[in-house]
């Protein structure tokens, strides 16, 4: 029985420590009291089970596990990796507590089973919150167009400070598209940029994209969330106030507002002009991106109309120097919002 007590003691420590690491980021990194409170409540629940007889079973000098390690445990590349590692740590510890707890106290097994589900929910909320915080800060949005050197162009734009990319391709076969989105997903991850896929929920799911962008004739937002989960970012194209109101009511995370100017990527759609941009300024409570024919030559008009976020296609995809084009566009947006 002493071995069981030692297992329970070790995993209670592991779960409490992991939750504390997550809680500290929720409190100081995100300034999110709700998520911090959830972590704290779970830590207190764990502490209530960490009774004296479990602690007395501890034999740290004789624990062979204290000398075991793995190279991945000794490095953390970013906050996302740190959080994910500790969420997994807590989940694994709770599973151990659930199973071995049944041998110690049936109520313990039931309690930790429920807590494990709470941590799954916390993971979804935490990662979703992180994604949405990054979305709030992203001011320039690149929507790709088919190019032979697509990945090179996107990589150069990312080096220029781009933090939000949408993959859009209506041609070619799925094997080619899958290869492209896989490479782009990795590039965006390396540059800490969000990666969105236009229309294709299956491709988004396959590469674990940060979200999808849906047109007016695509799947309802609720269906997309059911398939991809609540943590993903979902954008919706809108061309008028009615579409905007509906998209917001359906739970879109951001909106495309346009096309502001005539553009070959939206053939057959009349330009909405700057009036719709002004409407979005006054009426959209969620992030939105002015889109459609915006480039170096007219971006100041869009900014003057009140836009603080802009989406472009040709201004970067067809630029001679995508890095410089990205930096110039960001500079104009940033200078207008200071």
67 by Cβ neighbours in 10 Å (0-12 / 13-18 / 19+) ranks as exposed
Catalytic positions, please? 168, 237, 266
Rounded-to-integer distance, Cα 16 and Cα 43, Å: 6
Ramachandran quadrant class, 155 (left: phi over 0; alpha: psi -120 to 50; beta: rest): alpha
Rounded-to-integer distance, Cα 11 and Cα 15, Å: 6
- Answer whether 322's CB lies under 8 Å from 157's CB: yes
Collect all residues with Cβ–Cβ distance below 8 Å to 142 and sequence separation of at least 6: 154, 157, 162, 164, 165, 166, 311, 312, 313, 316, 317, 326
Rounded-to-integer distance, Cα 60 and Cα 156, Å: 51
- Answer whether 332's CB lies under 8 Å from 301's CB: no
The pair of structure tokens assigned to 142 is 């690149």
Residue tagged 């994604």 (tokens): 131
Please give the angle made by the CA atoms of 174, 175 and 179, to the nearest 5 degrees: 110
């Amino acid at each position: 029985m002493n071995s069981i007590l030692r297992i329970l003691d070790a995993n209670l420590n592991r779960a409490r420590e992991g939750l504390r690491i997550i809680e500290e980021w929720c409190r100081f990194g995100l300034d999110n009291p709700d998520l911090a409170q959830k972590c704290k409540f779970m830590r207190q629940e764990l502490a209530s089970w960490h009774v004296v007889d479990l602690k007395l079973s501890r034999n740290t000098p004789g624990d062979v596990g204290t000398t075991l390690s793995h190279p991945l445990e000794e490095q953390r590349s970013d906050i996302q990796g740190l959080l994910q590692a500790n969420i997994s740590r807590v989940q694994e510890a709770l599973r151990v507590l659930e199973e071995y707890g049944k041998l110690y106290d049936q109520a313990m097994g039931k309690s930790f089973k429920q807590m494990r589900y709470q941590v799954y929910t916390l993971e979804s909320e935490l990662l979703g919150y992180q994604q949405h915080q990054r979305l709030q800060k992203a001011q320039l949005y690149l929507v790709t167009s088919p190019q032979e050197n697509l990945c090179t162009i996107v990589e150069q734009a990312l080096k220029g400070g781009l933090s939000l990319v949408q993959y859009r391709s209506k041609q070619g076969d799925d094997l080619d598209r899958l290869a492209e989105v896989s490479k782009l997903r990795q590039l965006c991850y390396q540059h800490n940029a969000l990666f969105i896929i236009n229309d294709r929920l299956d491709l988004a799911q396959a590469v674990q994209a940060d979200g999808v962008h849906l047109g007016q004739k695509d799947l309802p937002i609720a269906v997309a969330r059911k398939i991809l989960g609540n943590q993903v970012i979902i954008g919706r194209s809108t061309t008028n106030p009615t579409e905007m109101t509906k998209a917001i009511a359906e739970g879109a995370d951001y909106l495309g507002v346009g096309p502001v100017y005539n553009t070959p990527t939206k053939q057959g759609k009349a330009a909405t002009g700057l009036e719709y941009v002004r409407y979005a300024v006054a009426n959209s409570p969620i992030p939105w991106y002015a889109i459609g024919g915006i480039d170096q030559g007219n971006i100041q008009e869009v900014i003057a109309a009140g836009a603080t976020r802009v989406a472009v296609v040709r201004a970067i995809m067809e630029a001679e120097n995508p890095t410089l084009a990205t930096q110039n566009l960001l500079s104009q947006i940033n200078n207008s919002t200071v």
